[in-house]
Structure formats: structure tokens, C-alpha cells
Amino acid sequence: MSHDNCLFCKIAAGEIPSTKVHEDDDFVAFKDIHPAADTHVLVIPRKHVETLSNCTEGDAPLLGKMMILVARLAEQLGCAYTGGDTGFRTVINTGPGGGQEVYHLHAHILAGPRPWKRM
């Protein structure tokens, strides 16, 4: 399940410190170390999946749960879409062409006043 020398597996296991905002049996969410916006949280599955491109039909429940968790965390973080100009951005970078730097699947949650930094 966990992958040797994977930074995010180590964060999920608590072997590398992070500011966690959520933890359950399947997922961990923590603040990005170089935030690109006032709110910048990463949501990861505990299961080591390298990229979205590595996902198959069998990962559908995991991905579905991950997206619902993103929505719940946005509420917890105070950036859910509740009308007007509220809301947040969700990003999954995939592969070098998508700007992925850490090869453990993760969804970025970004929100707050513009401008945001490049990520």
C-alpha cells in the first residue's frame, strides 16, 4: 500500500510532519507547504496511487469519495460555493505535462482573494 520514499505516503503515515486538516481511514488532507492562495490544501488517498492516469474502474469508489471529501473540506475551510462570489478551485496535476511534482495522487483545494501564486 505505502510506497518507499514517497513523500505523501510518509506524510499520511505521520513520518513527515504536516499541518493536517482532516484524517480518516482512507484519506488525509493537509496544508500545502508553499501555498499559492490563502487557502491551499492537498487531499490524498492513503493508498499509494501515482497519478490520475494510473487509475482504473476499480478506483472509481476511491475517486468518488475523494471528490465528495473535497466538497466537505471546502465547507470546513469556509470556501464552499454558497452563492454569490464564493467557491474554490480543485486541481489534479497529472504527469510532467500537467505540472505534477509529487507522484502520489492528490487534489489541490485553492481559494481566497486573487491574485494567486503560480503553482
Q: Which does 88 bind (CB under 5 to 8 A by kind): Zn ion, ligand 5GP, none?
A: none
34 binds ligand 5GP (CB under 6 A): yes
Q: Does 21 bind ligand 5GP (CB under 6 A)?
A: no
- Interface region with ligand 5GP, contact rule CB under 6 A, candidates 45-53, 62-70, 78-86, 100-108: 100-108
Q: Please answer whether residues 36 and 116 qualify as being in contact, where contact means their C-beta atoms are separated by less than 8 angstroms.
A: yes
Amino acid at 23: E
The answer to whether 111 and 39 are in contact (CB under 8 A) is yes
Residue written as cell 491574485? 115
DSSP state of 58: G
Question: Cis link prior to 45 (omega < 30° from 0)?
Answer: no
Q: Is 5 helix (H, G, I), strand (E, B) or coil?
A: coil
Q: Is 30 in the site for ligand 5GP (CB under 6 A)?
A: yes
Chain residues binding ligand 5GP by CB under 6 A are 7, 18, 30-34, 42, 93, 99-102, 119
Catalytic residue numbers read 106
Chain residues binding Zn ion by CB under 5 A are 3, 6, 8-9, 48, 104
